[in-house]
Amino acid sequence: MKQMAFVTRMRCSACGRDYSPDEKVYMCLKKDGGRLDLDYDYSAIAEKVSKKNLAERAPFLWKYFEFLPLKSEKNAVTLNEGGSPLLKAESLGEKIGLRNLYLKDETRNPTGSFKDRSMTVGVSKAVEFGVRTVATASSGNAAASLAAYSAKAGLKCFAFVLESASTAKIAQIRLHGTRVVKVKPAEEGKDPTVQMLQKVIEEYGWYPCPSFGPFNPYQVEGPKTISYEIAEQLGWKLPDWIIIPVGSACLFAGVWKGFRDFKEIGFIDFMPKLAAIQSTGCAPLVKAFREKKSLRELEPWKNPRTVAGGLADVFPWDADVALNVLKKSGTAEEVPDEDILKAQKLLASLEGVFAEPSGVASLAGLIKLAEKGVIEKDETVVALITGSGLKDPEATMKMEGEVPTIKPDIEEFKRKILNAEQ
């Protein structure tokens, strides 16, 4: 049982104030909207972890315990998340003109999205702090995941979701025993679920565990394990590009931090380029990137409208990291809903992977970047496929229309099905 945390300090990304990792703190006490960024003692980690001993550990998120902010491994609340496959996409690659395309298939996580990486860390930390009640604001996946981990840990959980949250996600949240509440919009450019979350934290002191950094700095550390896995799965030959769907940009920040951790410890010597993809119906980060704005100058999106519900964050809380990273390398791109739905179908029909619209926005963005020549055909590309298609079947059914019904009759089959196909 591992007993050590390698976090050296927590520093507010807004005001720079430092906190000790022993403090029971989730948000900067100045309430300035900053995220408490965790720093690690890499030379101490290097004494415990090598490429070789990583290869010997079973593939799941907590194999990277030393890079995570838990003090004792016994507090880890796990459903065996992480360790997702990296699939070589030959047919899809050929179709879009890329020779080395890989898919990081995050649909395989316990609740069907990468959010399990965030919530296993967030909930484990809640257990370590001894809290009893947790709360979240979410379009669905983060709440579904928090609900599952809270059930496993025996914590009470409240989830505030948007009215537009998919039925499948709401069903998941409820069955895990979480109190789920839909919250109506009240102010333009403000996420009503976040407004409600802020109120209950203030009123009851519950442990906030949404999937954005300024409310909970521990869960941010989960998604970085995606990068660790990619490095290991490619035999330490890093790809040129990672393509990331973006809502709050917490995933983006995590992916970046994962590669940076491995660079700090000397496992890799360069960072892949990162591409942030949003829907044209909600693209505050892409807009800020194009206008060279910082997070402080970024305007919240007024009226998000997209099939990619998981990307409909009016304010990208963790976009400071993305905007800094993208200034130096990488790119940001937006794609219309119809491209997202086309990419969803391509992925399912050519590669056998069924993803929800938010989960394939990365692929739609990649197709656009390849067409523009920003990404070249010989470059190695990893697209993150972040959520399962079973999360939001309504979006798909609307596109595909009615399924034909027949009697068990071969003539009817010939007439209505086979002949109709020609």
Ligand X SMILES: *Cc1c(COP(=O)(O)O)cnc(C)c1O
Among 222, 245, 304, 389, binds ligand X (CB under 6 A): 245
Which residue number, 5 or 365, has a Cβ lying nearer to ligand X?
365
Q: What length does the chain have?
A: 422
How many residues line the site for ligand X (CB under 6 A)? Answer: 20
Coil, helix or strand for 69? coil
* Smallest separation (angstroms) from ligand X to the CB of 284: 11
Coil/strand/helix, residue 384: strand
What is the per-residue binding string for ligand X in 36-75, x denoting contact by CB under 6 A?
----------------------------------------
Task: Compare residues 267 and 362 and give the one whose CB is closer to ligand X.
Answer: 362
Measured in whole angstroms, the distance separating CA 196 from the mean position of its chain's CA atoms is: 22
Q: Is the dihedral of CA 389, 393, 394, 398 positive or negative?
A: positive
Residue 65 to residue 133: CA distance in whole angstroms: 25
Mask: binding to ligand X, 247-266, rule CB under 6 A, as x and -?
A: xxxxxx--------------
Q: What is the DSSP string of 215-252?
A: G-TTGGGSTTHHHHHHHHHTTT---SEEEEE-SSSHHH
Contact window for ligand X (CB under 6 A) among 44-52, 246-254, 338-346, 403-411: 246-254
Nearer to ligand X, 265 or 312 (CB): 312
Give Cα separations from 158 to 138, 155, 184 (angstroms).
11, 10, 16
| Residue 387 found at the interface with ligand X (CB under 6 A) | yes
Rule CB under 6 A: is residue 214 a binding residue for ligand X? no
Which contiguous run of DSSP H or E holds residue 19?
strand 18-19
Is residue 115 a contact point for ligand X (CB under 6 A)? yes
Residues 157, 386, 389, 396: which binds ligand X (CB under 6 A)?
A: 386
- Asked whether position 360 contacts ligand X by CB under 6 A, the answer is no
Q: CB 309 → ligand X: shortest distance, Å?
A: 8
Work out how close the CB of 212 gets to ligand X at its nearest, in angstroms, rounded to a whole number. Answer: 7
Residues 282-341 that bind ligand X (CB under 6 A): 310-311, 313
- The C-alpha atoms of residue 332 and residue 280 are separated, in whole angstroms, by 12
CB of 256 to ligand X, least distance (A): 12
Distances (CA, A) of 295 to 64, 213, 289, 407: 30, 14, 10, 60
Query: Can you give the binding site for ligand X, defined by CB under 6 A?
Result: 113, 115, 141, 211, 245-252, 310-311, 313, 356, 358-359, 386-387
